[in-house]
Amino acid sequence: MRTVRKQEPPSVAPARHARAPGRWTGAALVAAMIATLATETYLIVVDRTVSGARVPKTDQSFLVNGLGQGVRISQTFLMRAGGLDEVRLSAVAQDEAGAGNLAVALYEVWKDRDGAERLLFRDRVTAGALTRYPTFRFAVPRVDDTADRSFRIDIWMPEPRPEVGISLWATDGRSSEDGSLFINGQSAYAELVFETRATRATVWARLRNRFGGAGLTLLLLLSVGAHAALFVGLRAIAAGGHAFTEPRE
Amino acid sequence: MRRMVSTLTAYAGSATTGLAAGGRSLPALLVLIFVLRGALAIAVVPPWQHPDEPQHLALAHVLARQTRLDLSNRRDLDVEHRILRSMAAHGWWQHYGEIEPDPIPASFDGVPEHISTTVTAPPVYYLLASAVLALSGIEDLVAQSYALRWMALALAAPTLLCLWAGTHRLFGPWVAGGATVLTALHPQFVLMSTAVNPAALVNLCGAVFWWQAARLLTGAPAAATLALLTGATLVGVFTKRAGAPLVLMLATVTIIAWAHGRIGPWRANWRTVVGTAGGLVVTGLLAAVWLWPEVDRLADSWSYALRFSWADRARDWGFFRRFTTGLLDSAWLVAGWLRYPAPSVWLALMRLLVVVAVGGCLVGLRRPAMAVWRTGFILAGALVAIQVAGVYGGIYMNGYGPQGHYLFPAIGPFMALVWVGIHAWWPRQSWAYVSIGVVAFFAVFDAVGWGSVILPVFLE
């Protein structure tokens, strides 16, 4: 028997759906809220470490030797992000890497002031620590206001030991913005393989820092309230979507 | 005790059921969402980080300290210096990516590239703000700025209700709910609604205007509605330059009401007569005391906008493109003094959404199913067009930079059109899903705005 579906006029159709959304609408509603909450959670807890200036290792890369002979190797770079707190270098040991110490120093430089510079941080590392892993992480105390400023990292052996064969990877040409490799102060048409980083505190950590324990608890409670209100409001609006509501006469 | 618990449980149960039904409590729920977001913005955004907060607070502070109101006396260099010191203490120049001046300038004249004085600004907001400051008895400048931020939020909450009421009148509760929830989730709107800035008051004037215009077109008593429309226009004009288009809107609404609306009865009861007469007497007295000098100042304030001459910059197509994208982007989210934009992908999506909504409105005008909303389309379209034309006529033609919040006096009709325009592309059976998708999209955009812009940049 053929079923004849009766066409409902718009003003009649809503009544059936107006109070509660249908099953599929409910599922869409829950999916929307999950998507919203997932986005918010991700944005609040995600680690926001950003990468600054960077020169990759390529097939044009080569090793810069001479640290053991007292050569001072430097790399300048322009930082675009604020909060510089780490410079990564790529070093390799060719023989007695474990012996001897190296000095690593970070300077801020002002090219528009005849190359004036300011020492920000200096540390000593053993040759073994420098070459233990493919990437050496030179952590510095966070420098807040680093965006759009130029820096230079120097590495050298204060007490040279020619038997120590440590080399740093560099790449031919210019790869980073406004960066250059210097060997004993002489510019080279190359750059060290390096990467700068600025670690950002998560939004969650910032909120906890700003509001403290009790304040954060209150914030969470209010946030739950706001989300509940949004869910209920959206549910009501979605129910109205089935109902073709007409303007007030 | 048991009885109290059972009573509370029953009350909570009935309240939850009532909320879940969604009906009348929907506008209250949406205002709640908005107010909670506003409270977070007040707590998070450091002092002086909203557009032009220093000069607005300076004038409100000066007026609040006067023993006898004198609107011609608008500057106090000592207050300006203290504000500049406070700006430095709160890292204002750091946020702007500039080196802090040393020494701190003696007055706002020392930072002309950032701060202009308010010597010709329309007075209503400052009178209201100074009254709040005088009544509160707060002396500390930063505490005063927070008090005025709360005042702005108190003005913005009824803005949402007026937006709801106007849209409800023209488009029904479903569109009203949609337009209001989008506004409640609008990140730039919440930021401007918590700023020490006349914007919150002029936005309220725009929302009242939208509501009353909707009433005028749908059979409400004409005399009272026109009186409220005129009142909202006057307050808006004497609040901020962004309220100037209300004058043109007033004339346009009257014409639309005459041509398309169902104008209600002109009869007035004695309460209306007494109220109107009293209002006229008070207005007349106020006008006699200080309105005429203010009209002179208003002319100064509007002078650049009334030149109607094209700046050289405005003849450049590149400037037109930059102005238009800047206006759109900063209408969605560019926090601080146009310093921290939302991620570019999201701004591009919001531009696309506006284009889709505008196209949808044109589609909707031709759809028989939406014929019942035609008056709403015409009114909302006219109000948005006038506000946009006002921004281009007053700002663009003079070669100045855009700020999206200049569009917010027309946010009610704009959001109604966005909601209807997006749905107009879809068959009616899909509208429930489209609604959920649109609200979820705005909620995610809002989350991105807070999670990747506002909170990271303002919470160190």
pLDDT in tens, A73-129: 999 999 887 788 899 999 998 765 567 889 999 999 987 777 789 999 999 998 888
Contact A84, A142 (CB under 8 A): yes
- Residue A14, pLDDT score: 38
Q: What share of chain B is helix, strand, coil (3-state, %, to 5)?
A: 75, 0, 25
pLDDT over 80 at B60, yes or no: yes
Compute the mean pLDDT over every residue in chain B, rounded to the nearest whole number: 87
Contact B63, B127 (CB under 8 A): yes
- Residue A143, pLDDT score: 84
What are the structural domain ranges in chain A? 50-198, 206-244
Name the B residues in 52-111 with CB < 8 Å from any A CB. Answer: 94, 97
Q: Which residue of B has its CA nearest to A236?
A: B22
pLDDT in tens, A198-246: 887 788 888 888 888 889 999 999 999 999 999 999 998 888 765 545 5
Which of A39, A211, A237 shows the shortest C-beta gap to B447? A39
- Residue B443, pLDDT score: 95
- Residue B72, pLDDT score: 80
Query: Which of B439, B448, B452 would best serve as a mutation to test chain A binding (most A beta carbons within 10 A)?
Result: B439
Class of domain A50-198: mainly beta
**B436·A29 Cβ contact <8 A:** yes
Higher pLDDT, B395 or A2: B395
**A222·B30 Cβ contact <8 A:** no
SS3 at position B225 = helix
B285 touches chain A (CB under 8 A): no
Written as one string, the DSSP assignment of B37-68 is: HHHHHHHHSPTT-STTHHHHHHHHHHHHH-SS
Cis peptide before B158 (omega within 30 of 0): no
Q: Which residue of A has its CA nearest to B26?
A: A233
Name the A residues in 30-89 with CB < 8 Å from any B CB. Answer: 32-33, 35-36, 39-40, 42-44, 48
Contact list in A for residue B380 (CB cut-off 8 A) is none
Q: Which residue of B has its CA nearest to A238?
A: B432
Written as one string, the DSSP assignment of B157-187 is: HHHHHHHHHHHHHHH-HHHHHHHHHHHHT-H
Which of A40, A44, A246 shows the shortest C-beta gap to B172? A246
Burial letters A147-176, b for 16+ CB under 10 A, else e: eebbbbbbbbbeeebeebbbbbbbbeeebb
Of A155, A162, A152, the residue nearest A136 (C-alpha)? A155
Helix extents (H) in B261-308: 270-286, 292-302
**A246·B434 Cβ contact <8 A:** no
**A234·B447 Cβ contact <8 A:** no
B22 touches chain A (CB under 8 A): yes
Which of B29, B376, B459 shows the shortest C-beta gap to A233? B29
**A247·B443 Cβ contact <8 A:** no
pTM: 0.78
Contact list in B for residue A229 (CB cut-off 8 A) is 29-30, 32-33
Specify the DSSP class assigned to residue B218. Answer: B
Which of B218, B369, B447 shows the shortest C-beta gap to A10? B369
Give whichever of A18-27, B13-22, B111-120, B146-155 has the largest mean pLDDT: B146-155
